[in-house]
Structure 1
């Protein structure tokens, strides 16, 4: 029972003090969550060192909770020390708490990516889809690489007006590592510093503080993915002002605010 007297959702039984800390997976987390869904249902409750967590394991319930009742449940966790403070990923809208900064980001996203606006991006999507099909025909065994490359190419061209290289593109490499970092650091209980925030003050050289070293590496990828494409777009503004066509979302944002703002 919870402290409010209401019944908690079902979940794996925990141990005294540590709760379900030993039950949390560190790799292939989705397989454990899927197993819990079969055993306990589409909503599962766990407690890790006093931190309660609820897992939603069905599309129906996710839509019901996060779409129909978004005003109640759309906020993020109060604290994510690994992602926010050590890695500096608080710039990402995906990890922001509800507030003024989040609303500004959402307004900007909606302005250029609402259903009518995205119609203008179809030529870019069509071009890279055709390239993807050709790559799949030539090298079907590398389908994962080709799909990831196509997705990255579409995002970079629409977002920044950058046409990436076919092989070994720097932007794609940085984006891939940044996404991997966010995925690993965002996994529940992946790092104990999220459960015990005081651990963020432990120096890097202390045994067991390898998360500090990893955070520095991932922080650099986060810096590059936010700065390098943006600087490329800023440099392209000169060409845009000389008559080139404005092709990307970032071009429009920079031009609309004026170069002095940046």
Structure 2
């Protein structure tokens, strides 16, 4: 009983002490808060990026808020985010201590919440991603063939059951990542239940990462409160999410090990790594490659379905968009420059409603000066990706879905800034090439085979889909639409291609 009370008292003292420390240098502008808790009560529990974009209009593209005494810097322009997170990446590549998601749930074992500075584990995880999923690896014909094959599974599902398009996007993305990472075949009916395991783990990642949701992130001393103590419900939530993450670490890894022992492993990233070790991997190396698999999921299992569902929503809202291509598009067509409009459309999907509107937070590892202001050591730094990708100075009519903005001589700036959807600097998404391939081939083939239109109810009334998004990993709210074949014979086309 004494320990939790002491933890609470210590946290309160730290609040008071930190809140009374004098600011250094000239203070950044920002909304006024209240003592101790700062701006916490002004930040909504969801869609924080919209509130932060609203504050940009009043306080500029770089402003300061306070969350329980922690100085927090919001970057809302491409220039500011590039200046700090890339040009000065040696200062801003670390993550703040994420007590809930990183420590209590356990995501600090992976790449997203690992510290970058002087961290051999971070460097090794980045090396694995570059080796197995870098631009050269993702251009390999074998990998591209797997992505095309798994995409045809998505097309078949849309043909037979178009109403559940969102579930199909999620399931087929999970199947692809499982196939690439562990060689887990997609045609076996998922006997290990890995898709459910990954979905549970990723739901926990999203919930545990929401800014301002968990007091323990701002008062780390609260982590000593036991789960049975009043106010300890966050501990029970963390324990459940950690159990889900542990399953993601262990069960698919053991599947690959058993397949190797049985002499029947399918090609996979994990198999390539284990063959390098030739059965002599240490416990630390085993845990590292488990973290690699989990990091791959955290980067793609939710964001790619979000992008695909956004694309379907955009097509329902913009029926004027048309595309024709003879036959089923392939990556070869893209590489030969035949699908430039599809490439532009993919970029607009990333921009229009980015899958991770705030990215993950950075932290200043030392004091820094920017535009005459001081950014204190320990400040948490967020790039408001949504605001950057809706900057009217870069994207005219930013709320409109306009793929043409990436075509023509005046498109250079838009093409450069849209890459912000994947993050900045050393923290840019390491799975971006796999994700780009997946979304590209899905959009190209869906546009070729299907018409996407607004839903018409039983009484002939058109139901307008609503453009509303929720979640730290942002998904469109449920909506209905019509997905119909453009021509006859699609089933036989996909059957022959699939075989």
Tell me the TM-score normalized by structure 2: 0.48
Alignment equivalent of 1:23, drawn from 42, 48, 58: 42
Q: What does the per-residue CA deviation read over 1:49-73, in whole Å, with 9 as the maximum and x for residues that have no partner?
A: 2111223334554444333432232
- Change beyond 3 A, Cα 1:123–1:87: same
Matched with 2:323 is: none
Distance 2:94 2:61 in 1: 20
Q: Which aligned pairs between 1:214-225 and structure 2 lie closer than 5 A? A: 214-225=237-248
Q: Helix, strand or coil: the match of 2:33? A: coil
Aligned partner (choices 135, 148, 164) of residue 126 of structure 1 = 148
Q: Deviations over 1:105-138 (max 9, x none)?
A: 1111111112111123101110111221222233
Query: How far 1:217 sits from its partner (Å)?
Result: 0.3
Are 1:155 and 2:173 counterparts?
A: no
Gaps of 5+ in 2: 1-21, 283-499
Report what 2:94 is aligned to: 75
> Where in structure 2 are the equivalents of 1:15-164 lying within 5 Å?
15-59=34-78, 61-77=80-96, 79-98=97-116, 99-120=119-140, 121-164=143-186
The change in CA–CA distance for 1:142 and 1:153 in structure 2 (over 3 A counts) is same
Structure 1 Cα separation of the partners of residues 146 and 58 of structure 2: 44
Instruction: List per-residue Cα deviations over 1:74-122 (Å, max 9, x = no partner).
Output: 2111x22212332122211000001111011111111111211112310
Whole-angstrom distance in 1 between the partners of 2:102 and 2:135: 31
SS of residue in 1 equivalent to 2:135: coil
The structure whose RCO (Cα within 8 Å, separation 6+) is larger is: 2
- Listed as ranges, the gaps of 5+ residues in structure 1 are none
Partner of 1:7: 27
SS of equivalent residue, structure 1 residue 55: strand
- What is the DSSP-based 3-state SS (H/G/I as helix, E as strand, rest coil) of the residue aligned with 1:7? coil
> How well do the aligned residues superpose, as a CA RMSD in angstroms?
2.4
The answer for the alignment partner of 1:208 in structure 2 is 231
2-structure distance, mates of 1:138, 1:29: 38
Q: Which has the larger radius of gyration?
A: 2
User: Displacement, 1:139?
Assistant: 2.7
d(CA) in 1 for partners of 2:215, 2:30? 21
Report what 2:206 is aligned to. 183
Q: Distance in 2 between matches of 1:170 and 1:35?
A: 43
After TM superposition, give the deviation of residue 253 of structure 1 in Å. 0.8
- Counterpart secondary structure, 1:95: coil
**Inter-CA distance 238–208: structure 2 relative to 1 (3 Å threshold):** same
Structure 2 vs 1, CA of residues 255 and 29 (structure 1 numbering), >3 Å: closer, same or farther? Answer: same
In 2, are the aligned partners of 1:237 and 1:255 still within 8 Å (CA)?
no
Count matched residues.
257
Greater helix fraction, Structure 1 or Structure 2: 1
* Structure 1 residue 226, shift from structure 2 partner: 0.8
Does the 8 A contact of 1:181 with 1:218 survive in 2? yes
With normalisation by structure 1, the TM-score equals 0.88
**Post-superposition shift, 1:245?**
6.5
Greater displacement, 103-112 / 79-88? 79-88
**How far 1:216 moved relative to its partner?**
0.5
The structure-2 alpha-carbon separation of the partners of 1:171 and 1:86, relative to structure 1 and needing over 3 Å to count, comes to: same
Using the TM superposition, give the Cα deviation of residue 29 of structure 1 relative to its aligned residue in structure 2, in angstroms.
Answer: 3.0
Question: 1:34, 1:57 within 8 Å by CA — same for their partners in 2?
Answer: yes
